[in-house]
Every structure is written in C-alpha cells, then in structure tokens.
Amino acid sequence: MAEPTQKHTRRTPIIGMEVHVELKTASKMFCGCANDPFHAPAPNTYTCPVCLGMPGGLPVANKKAVEWTIKLGLALGCKVALFSKFDRKHYFYPDLAKGYQISQYDQPLCENGVVHTELGDVRIHRVHLEEDTGKLQHTTIDGKRVSLIDFNRSGVPLVEIVTEPDIHSAEHAKAYAKQIHEIVRTLEISDADMEKGSMRLEANISLADDPNVLPNYKVEVKNINSFRFLEHAITFEIARQDALLNDKKIPAQETRGWNEEKRTTIVQRSKENAEDYRYFPDPDLPPMTFDAKYVEKLRAELPMLPEEKIKKLEDLGIKPEFAQLLSSSEFPLSTLETLFTAAKGKGFEPNQVASVIINRKLDIRQVKTEHVLEILANTYTKDEVDPKELESAVSAVLEEQPKAVADYKAGKTQVIGFLIGMVSKKLGKKVSPKLLSSILVRMFSSKY
Amino acid sequence: MGTLNTLTLTDAIRKLHNNEITLDALYADVNSAVSSKNSALNIYLAQDKYAEKSAEKGTLSLLRGVPIAVKDNFLTVGLPTTASSKVLDGFMPPYESTVTSKLKKAGGVIFGKTNMDAWAHGSSTETSDYGPTKNPRNPEHLPGGSSGGSAAAVAADMCIAAIGSETAGSIRQPSAWCGVVGLKPTYGRVSRAGVVAMGSSLDCPGPITKTVEDAAILLNVIAGQDKYDATTSPVQVPDFTKMLKTGVKGVRVGIAYIDHEKLVGTPAAKAVEQAAEVLQSLGAIVDRVPLSQTLKDNTILTPDYAIGVYTVVQRGEVSSNLARYDGIRYGHDRTHFGDEAKRRIMLGTFTLSKGYADKYYVKAQQVRSLYIQNFRQLFSRYDVLISPTSPGYALKLGASKDNPMFGELEDMLEEPSSITGLPGINVPCGHDKKTNLYLGLNIVSAQWNEGLVLRAGYAFEQNTYWNSWLKKDK
C-alpha cells in the first residue's frame, strides 16, 4: 500500500492515548512469582498455579503495585479513589490463562489528572491497575508450524493510563508520551522500555470537521514501540483518514497495527460490534479502601517530577530549551547544582555548563566535576591577541588557501569555519570565533 | 472383622492416643467397609494406596493418623482431582489445597477422594460424570449434594471423618439426607485456596462428621487466615472444642421458615418444632420468627428471593470460573463439559452480558444486601436461628433428572445464610424407621459465630436420640 503523501488536513485530529506500563515490582501482581519476564532463564519458569490459571489458584493483590499506581496517579495530578476494586474482564485468548483478565472497570485507582506538555495540556481520564497476559510465539518445530505460550509475563502488574481526546497532532502525542515516559522513569516504577514492551503505546485517532464535536468513529492504532513510530503512525493515519473523508467515506471503526517497515497501519480487528467483556467485581479480591492520610503519605514520598525540575532550573537562569532537556532523570538536580556552583567559581555561567552537558552528551552521574570544568575551560577560555598580529595571520591564511577563498566567493560560506580553524592554528592561540569571523568577512569584502 | 470404622473422630483419636486400638486395626476395618460397600454406593473416585503408611507418620499429631475422606474438588498431590468432571479426568494436581495440607500437618490422612456433583453443580451427586452416589442409609435414595460422596462416606463408616464444601447447602443438605453432621463455616473462615472454584463469593470448605464434637475438632484444624486466599479473614480462630459443652441456657433461639407454604405441616417442620422444645427444656429462650415478603424488623425475609439471588450470582461466577478449562494447559477440552455445566455457563454468560448485568447480576447483589440487613437485625434479637435443613427426606434416585432447578429448590433453606456468608450446621433431628432416612436441623448464627452454632448443635445432639453413632453408645 502506498503511503499517502498529503501531510496537512483542514480537519482537526482528535487523538486520545492509552499507555500501558509494566511495573517493576519484585513479584507479580497476584502471586509470588518473580516479575522479570525479560531476563527469565527459560520460558514458563516464573509461573505458579495462580498465573497459570490452575484449578483452585486464587489471586492476592500486590500491595506495592497498588501503591505505585497511586503514586503515578498523584504524579499525573489525578484524584485518588478512596474506594477501589478489581474486576474480571472476560475474553478468550490462549495467552490469557484464566479466560479473564483481572483489571479495573468502573472504579479505577486514579481519575481526572492532567499532563502539561509544551504543545498543550492533556487531561488524564483514568489510571488503573491490571495484569499482563502471557506471550504467544508462532514458530516452526520439526517442520511443523506451532504456537507456543510463555507465561513468564502472565500476571505481571500493568498500569494503563488513559487520556481524554485532547491531543491534536502527532508531535503533541509524542510530547505527551515522552512526558509519561519521563514521569514513570522518575518515579522508578518501570523500566518503560518500549522495545521490550514494558511500555506500550496506543492511539485512538479520528478527524473532526468541527473541533468541538467528537467524530462518530475512531481508529485504534496499536503495536507502536517507539516515540518516532508514534509520530509516523499518527501522521500516516491522519492522511489516510483525511483521504477517505475527502471521498465522503467514514473510516471504519477498527483496530490497526503500525508496520514501521511498510510505513503503514494494517487492519487487525474490526470493532464494528461492541465487545462484551462481561465485567463483574472479582469475588476473589476484597475491595480496597484507603484513607486520605495514606494518600497524603504517598504524595509526600514523590520524588521531584520533571515539571517541577524544569521550573527550578529556569529559576537558576537556565534557558527553557536546556531546562527541558535536563529535566530527564538522567540528570539529577543535586548533581547539576553542584556543577553550577563549581563552574561559577571559575567564571562560567550555568547555561554554559548546561550546553556542555547536552552537546557532549555527558553522563553526569559518572563524570567527575573536575572533568566537566576542564571541558568548560577548553570550550570557553579565550586568549588575548594583538589586533595587528591577528590581521597579518588572517592575511597569511587567505594567501595560503586560494581554494577556500574561491569557494567562499562562489557562495559556500561555510568554509569560513575552516578558515577560522586555520587562523587559530597559525596563531597557536584560542581566539573568539565571533571576532575572527567578523575580521574574515570584512577582509573578504575589502581586499578580495 | 471389627467395627473400628464406626468410631467417631473424637473416640478414634482418644483410643489411638491411649493405645486402646492400633492404626492397623482401624485401617483394616475402614478398608474392609470400603471394599464391601464402595462398588454399590459409588463413593470413592480415588483412594490413596499408601494411606496407612502416611498414617504412621501422624501418630503423635492431633489427628493421630485417622483416615479422612475429602471431596474431589480439593487439590491433592498424588491423588487425581477431577471435581467429578471428565474435563479434569486423570488430572494430577501440582500443588496441595490449604485445607488438605492443614489436615496432613495435623496428622490426618487423605484416605480417598469422594464423588460429587460435577463442578459441585447440584444437590444430588447425580450430575457426577462418574455416576451417582447412593445413600448408604437407603440405596434407593439420593445422598444429596454436592458433597454427597463425603456425607455418604461418613454415613457408611467408610472413613472416620470427611471434608466437603458448600456454596449453598452442599455440606448441610447431603448431611441432612445421610443423617450426619455437616458444618458450613462463615465465608472467609476456611481457605478456598486449592479448591476448584464454583461460586467464589459463596464457596466454603467445612467438615462432614459423625458428631458435632468431631466437626469442632476438624474446624480447629482447617480454619484460619491463609496468605493464598485474600478473602480469608484475620478474625481470631478460637478453640471450638472449648465452649462446646457449655449448654444453651439463656441462648435466644428463633424458629425460622416453618410457616413457609412449602413446609407447613410437613415432618420437617414438626421435627424442628420438637427440636425447639428440646432446646427450650435445656434453658434456651425460644421464639418464632414470622416469615415476611418484605424487609421488616423482627421478621425473616422469605427464602423465595434467595433462590433467584443465589442462582444469578452463582451462575455468573460459574461462567467466569469455568473459563480457564480450555484444555490448553491441562485437562481436556470443552466438549467434555456435561449438560449441567453447559447450562450454567450459558445462563451465567447471559446474566453478565452488557445490558443484562444491571437487570440480573447487579439486581441480585442489591437483594443480597437486603438479606444481610435482615440477618443483622435478627441477630441483634436472636443468638441462633433454627429451621429444617431440607424440606423433606432424601428423594429417590433419578429425582434430579430433567429438573435444572432441583438443587436451588432443595437448598432454599440454606440459600439466605449462604448468600450472606453466615455459619450453619446440620444435625440429625428426625428419622423414618420405614425408610431409614433422616431429617436435619439447620442451626445458623451471625458471622464468626461457629462456636455458638456448634454449642447449640452439641446440646441438641447430646439430648436427643437422632445421632446414629451416639445412639449405639447408649
């Protein structure tokens, strides 16, 4: 299928997202099995009667997972339910051991939050806790095509974060997903590794003629395992739906999967018929009640979140674009502050420190302060040069490099960088590139 | 051949402890009862060949190695567990249920697995995929169910004591029909871990025994919070044998349900009236609780609505609980489900469906809470409520056929206490000499009040002649 080329539409994209995050608790959601599906020595090793759906196996909720979900909800500005429960969601699939998934239906742990992105706010509809399924593997053994099931992932705690349809572009969706990724990583509740699938993205996409009226269809796109693919998938889907709407067709209500190789979404399942999961409260799990004090205790335990960190950095005089990049948990605020103070002592501004960290991709959790100061010195220290000496050096270089001069005249102005380097080399000193550049330009226009 | 198989659990433990009898002799008598009667009665689906060997290890523990019969829905390592369904034919459990593991730790021996209604769906043991069990008191009659095999094993002295499970009546009703004692504990008192689930919000394992004291001993062993069952309660477990013999003086007894149209003038109603007189003569304060069609203080809500509540809730949970039996990981595929299981799966699936859940499942839960309110009020006024366990004597073989609501109607007197999670006991309270069949008295109390239920049952049993084991002693 050819990729639709039209990138822009007069219609408003209406996008809601569902993000699934596997929590990295020590044990699974409802049993004592190790929660480490990606490092299991062999398939079906981290299993027990509960996560295999054996007769008589009963779930017992993982308290840590509940606590982490509440913390995530708080980090997303949600209201935490003081009464919540687990429900059974029924459907048949070979990787679903019990014939139902333990999830949350009408009383999720957290509701009504908001995530701020540079492209606009995204309201959080709900955050709920459920269990992951096993994994199917379709393969060939002894020439026979077989389907195998690995239950190591069965029962791993899974949080689902659902937004309101507040996202209006592929970039906006990407910014939102990155923000969620960052928050989850800051809370240290998940590896959120999209390649492995411990963070999974889904987007519900439709196009509205009137942005105030929700369209009467939506297309769910799954199998998106990077931020880049998210952007690609949404861009593709907007163009595809726009073309259909231009032809006066309403896109089918369906689930599609993103295929990065073919750069296209492919129909996975029609959603024309409303699914019936026959939800009912899981009688094996008593409802959960929390008091406000407990919720406040969890709130107090929250680490500094990216948004707050950005504000702190900006208060320290860091440019917004740097602050945004440094908000990642890779750059602990305390380490940044130590570096800023040390650099100030040597006459460097915090923004210079920020620039060096970002451009040199420094891992400040590893690199020593002295090393950072050294890099700063090499990058920003300038020697004093006599203007006459400077001019003669420039003249000499221009004489020696006729080809570069010719190139410059032909419009290849980027050779100026090369010439600056040659002058510095001739002088054996570090000279401000700005100054050199202005001298060069002046000499070009007068002499040559 | 001796008669040590007829010993009560209390006596067997005492005699083994005092070296009055040997395990060898006890096992010889139980084994001989099994070999002479099992093929006719169809009680055991599987037996542990090494039972006696295991018994020797338990001689110093509480239960002294006595043979205990266990319903086939408890997972037992080394003994196949099928819940009497062909879907699980030959299934060897990879782990042990909490109840059987507690019994073993206390020196009990899982002697064999008893027949039941397939998946515990029924009140006759006729829906078993392995054929019906017959009532040892009169083999032309049903043993009741679903724990019919366990009740029959006790009645036939083919074990010293047994374990059953009840969703609504499945311990008490077969106990009534077989003339034995059956205790359904408070929901959450005994762990469901390792028990093939039927109605998860109702299921409750419990003892089926020869005497009330036997039931108290077994409840002591199996009760308690379990980290593998989140619905078990941290409520403290008392020693149920301690208060057992303190009598019923001053205990407030309410007579319930005998003014229901189905019971008026029946032998079951008369037996309960006589039982009330016995309790009164022992110092209890006895009063009648009028039946009511609506929720009203000091009246008992008719059990008629409980039939509907129970049917909807239980079928919904059944349809969900049986979803795992897809034949992919273990067991056989769905074509092996019997008719009754299929009916329940379909009805449960329907009542949980979008658009119908509110009409059925949610509605049923609302009515369920009316029963909870009703009992809460009544137990501020009464300590125990008594009623017939079953509307009558054991019915004839074949009675459950072509009657999909057979169990729900037979168990209507247990359903209100089951859907509200209350404890109840069946003790024999009548006997028909012609048929050799029994009537049962159902004694119910408030949550966690098994102690009082046992106490009242013990007082009644010791002062009447209905218990066939105690009669022999007299």
Tens of pLDDT, residue by residue over B81-105, are 999 999 999 999 999 999 999 999 9
Alpha-helical regions (H) of A134-226? 170-187
pLDDT: which is higher, B33 or A7: B33
- Which residues, in sequence order, are CB contacts of A67 under 8 Å at separation 6+? A298
CA distance B196 to chain A (A): 5
Chain length of chain B: 474
- B146: cis peptide before it, omega within 30°? yes
Contacts of A283 in chain B (CB under 8 A): 199-201, 231, 317
A39, with CB counted inside 10 A (0-12, 13-18, 19+), is exposed
Give the distance from CA A318 to its chain's centroid. 23
For A279, nearest residue in chain B (alpha carbons): B352
CA distance B295 to chain A (A): 26
Angle between helices A387-400 and A415-427 (to 10 degrees): 120
DSSP H or E stretch at residue B343: helix B339-351
Residue B25, Cβ neighbours under 10 Å: how many?
12
DSSP notation for B150-183:
HHHHHHTTSSSEEEEEESSSTTHHHHHHHT-EEE
Contacts of B322 in chain A (CB under 8 A): 99
Interface test with A, best of B310, B315, B324 (most A CBs within 10 A): B324
Tens of pLDDT, residues B216-262:
999 999 999 999 999 999 999 999 999 999 999 999 999 999 999 99
Residue B106, Cβ neighbours under 10 Å: how many?
18
Contacts of A94 in chain B (CB under 8 A): 326, 328
Mean pLDDT (whole number) for A334-349: 87
Q: Is the dihedral of CA A103, A105, A109, A112 positive or negative?
A: positive
Tens of pLDDT, residues B34-84:
999 999 999 999 999 999 998 988 778 999 999 999 999 999 999 999 999
Tens of pLDDT, residues A91-111:
999 999 999 999 999 999 999
Counting residues of chain B whose pLDDT is more than 70, the rounded percentage is: 99
Given a cut of 80, is residue A447 above it in pLDDT? no
Alpha-helical regions (H) of B58-199? 98-105, 148-155, 172-178
Mean pLDDT (whole number) for A59-79: 98
For B357, nearest residue in chain A (alpha carbons): A278
- Which residues, in sequence order, are CB contacts of A438 under 8 Å at separation 6+? none
Taking CB atoms and an 8 Å limit, are A58 and B229 in contact across chains? yes
| Cα–Cα distance measured from residue B81 to residue A109, given in angstroms and rounded to the nearest whole number | 38
- Decide: A385 and A431 in contact? Cβ < 8 Å: yes
Mean pLDDT (whole number) for B195-201: 97
- Using CB atoms, pick whichever of A90, A94, A97 lies closest to residue B320: A90
Contacts of A101 in chain B (CB under 8 A): none
Q: Does 1.10.10.410 match the CATH number of domain A306-447?
A: yes
- Using CB atoms, pick whichever of B230, B324, B354 lies closest to residue A60: B230
Mean pLDDT (whole number) for A309-313: 90
Mean pLDDT (chain B, rounded): 95
Given a cut of 60, is residue A6 above it in pLDDT? no
- Decide: B58 and B83 in contact? Cβ < 8 Å: no
Tens of pLDDT, residues A215-263:
999 999 998 999 999 999 999 999 999 999 999 999 999 999 999 889 8
Interface test with A, best of B76, B79, B100, B231 (most A CBs within 10 A): B231
| Cα–Cα distance measured from residue A168 to residue A120, given in angstroms and rounded to the nearest whole number | 9
Taking CB atoms and an 8 Å limit, are B354 and A276 in contact across chains? yes
CA dist list (Å): B357 to A98, B248, B318, B348: 21, 45, 15, 10
Given a cut of 90, is residue B471 above it in pLDDT? no
At residue B391, what is the residue type?
P
pLDDT for res A273? 63
Taking CB atoms and an 8 Å limit, are A274 and B354 in contact across chains? yes
- Which residues, in sequence order, are CB contacts of A314 under 8 Å at separation 6+? A320, A323
pLDDT for res A1? 41
| Cα–Cα distance measured from residue B265 to residue B391, given in angstroms and rounded to the nearest whole number | 11
Taking CB atoms and an 8 Å limit, are A58 and B192 in contact across chains? yes
pLDDT for res B354? 86
At residue A384, what is the residue type?
E
CA dist list (Å): B201 to A123, A152, A216, B343, B419: 37, 29, 40, 20, 8
Taking CB atoms and an 8 Å limit, are B326 and A99 in contact across chains? yes
Beta pairing partners, A22: A158
Given a cut of 60, is residue A139 above it in pLDDT? yes
- Decide: B422 and B205 in contact? Cβ < 8 Å: no
CA distance B81 to chain A (A): 10
pLDDT for res B383? 98
CA angle B241, B239, B222 (to 5 degrees): 95
| Cα–Cα distance measured from residue A412 to residue A418, given in angstroms and rounded to the nearest whole number | 11
Taking CB atoms and an 8 Å limit, are A53 and B197 in contact across chains? no
The conformation of residue B147, written as its DSSP 8-state character, comes to S
| Cα–Cα distance measured from residue B442 to residue B412, given in angstroms and rounded to the nearest whole number | 12
- Using CB atoms, pick whichever of A52, A56, A90 lies closest to residue B197: A56
pLDDT: which is higher, A420 or B453: B453
DSSP H or E stretch at residue A337: helix A333-345
| Cα–Cα distance measured from residue B421 to residue B168, given in angstroms and rounded to the nearest whole number | 10
Listed range (A25-39, A359-373, B161-175) with the worst mean pLDDT: A359-373
DSSP H or E stretch at residue A398: helix A387-400
Query: If DSSP codes are grouped into helix, strand and coil, which group holds residue A160?
Result: strand
CA dist list (Å): A11 to A176, A206, A217, A239, B23: 21, 10, 14, 10, 86
Mean pLDDT (whole number) for A396-405: 85
Query: If DSSP codes are grouped into helix, strand and coil, which group holds residue B301?
Result: strand
- Using CB atoms, pick whichever of A55, A57, A90 lies closest to residue B323: A90
Give the torsion through C-alpha atoms of A363, A365, A369, A372, to 10 deg. Answer: 10
| Cα–Cα distance measured from residue A207 to residue B72, given in angstroms and rounded to the nearest whole number | 58
- Using CB atoms, pick whichever of B88, B201, B324 lies closest to residue A283: B201
Alpha-helical regions (H) of B227-300? 267-281
Q: Which of the residues of B are catalytic?
A: 71, 146, 170
DSSP notation for B4-39:
GGG--HHHHHHHHHTTSS-HHHHHHHHHHHHHHHHH
Residue B205, both tokens:
């394992």
- Using CB atoms, pick whichever of A53, A61, A98 lies closest to residue B230: A61
- Which residues, in sequence order, are CB contacts of A129 under 8 Å at separation 6+? A29, A65, A66, A69, A86, A103, A104, A108, A109, A157, A158, A159, A160
pLDDT for res A421? 82
| Cα–Cα distance measured from residue A441 to residue A413, given in angstroms and rounded to the nearest whole number | 10
CA distance A273 to chain B (A): 12
Instruction: At A90, give phi and psi (nearest 5°).
Output: -95, 130
Mean pLDDT (whole number) for B359-370: 94
Alpha carbons within 13 A on the beta-carbon side of B107: 18
pLDDT for res A274? 65
Contacts of B317 in chain A (CB under 8 A): 283
What domains sit in chain B, N to C, each tagged with a CATH number? 4-462 (3.90.1300.10)
| Cα–Cα distance measured from residue A437 to residue B79, given in angstroms and rounded to the nearest whole number | 90
Contacts of A278 in chain B (CB under 8 A): 319-320, 349, 352-354, 357
- Decide: B388 and B264 in contact? Cβ < 8 Å: no
Contacts of B200 in chain A (CB under 8 A): 283-284
CA distance B353 to chain A (A): 5
Query: If DSSP codes are grouped into helix, strand and coil, which group holds residue A18?
Result: strand
| Cα–Cα distance measured from residue B205 to residue B75, given in angstroms and rounded to the nearest whole number | 12
ipTM field = 0.95
Taking CB atoms and an 8 Å limit, are A278 and B81 in contact across chains? no
Taking CB atoms and an 8 Å limit, are B195 and A56 in contact across chains? yes
Given a cut of 50, is residue A404 above it in pLDDT? yes
Terminal Cα-to-Cα distance of chain B (whole angstroms): 22
Strands A135-141 and A144-150: antiparallel
Residue A57, both tokens:
């196996």
- Decide: B16 and B64 in contact? Cβ < 8 Å: yes
Q: How confident is the model at residue B474 (pLDDT cuts 50, 70, 90)?
A: very low
CA distance B330 to chain A (A): 8
Give the torsion through C-alpha atoms of A369, A370, A372, A376, to 10 deg. Answer: 140
At residue B138, what is the residue type?
N
Contacts of B366 in chain A (CB under 8 A): none
pLDDT: which is higher, A2 or A67: A67
Counting residues of chain A whose pLDDT is more than 70, the rounded percentage is: 96
- Domain boundaries along the sequence of chain A: 12-298, 306-447
Query: If DSSP codes are grouped into helix, strand and coil, which group holds residue A271?
Result: coil
Mean pLDDT (whole number) for A15-28: 97
Whole-angstrom Cα Rg for chain B:
20
